[in-house]
Structure 1
Amino acid sequence: MSTSQIQQTLLNIESELREKIAALPEMQIKLMDQLNYSLCELIQIMTEVHLCEHPLFFELMRLDAARCQLEIGLYGVCSDCENEIEPERLAKDPLEQRCLTCSNHFSQQHRQELRLNH
């Protein structure tokens, strides 16, 4: 996929995500006066209204990371091992941050942490 195709894909994801975030009751009051907030500003606002655990917040963070990676030429590089993320993984989820091996390791580690905390 070319850089322009990736950019367009990320823009489409951003547009859908912004609509969903704007529909949240906690965000409607905050966004009432302005809709052109940057991703960083949206992250800050969602933090202020205590939505850090909301699934849309996590998607927003993933989108921000993908856009930053694209800007610095690291889009498609695993955030853990720095190997290339499998193209089929990126095709399935353009916001993917890890290769299959690291994703499996992360999931296993996360499940273990959850068991230890309960």
Structure 2
Amino acid sequence: MDEFLKEINADIFWKYIKAYDFNENMQVKVEDKSVIIKTAYSHSQINYYNMQLFEFKVSNTYLHTDEFYLHFQMKNMKHALELFNEMLEIIQTLVNRPQVKILLSCSGGLTTGFFAMK
């Protein structure tokens, strides 16, 4: 039954994502086949392709690293919603991640210089 409804579920899932009430910390731009989500620390994108394919990307703009990437074909609604919620959790952890400041000091400066280079 899931195979029969896969195309319909993919369209419903895409409409769900486009209509989702995102967090107030997120700037959302909805396009025809993509949704772009920006926060203070992340840039995320959700793409919808032919054959019920979805792509989720989350990049950390502070560290310039990829935090989350997923490319999947729609199987059923429950699984797709779990993956979407997992992506939102990753974005939220980047928003709530505190900035760490470290003070290094030593009498001669050798140790401090070594750790600063590392």
Same topology, TM > 0.5: no
What's the TM-score, normalizing by structure 2? 0.31
The structure with the largest strand share of the pair is 2
What's the TM-score, normalizing by structure 1? 0.31
The structure whose Rg is larger is 2
The structure with the largest helix share of the pair is 1
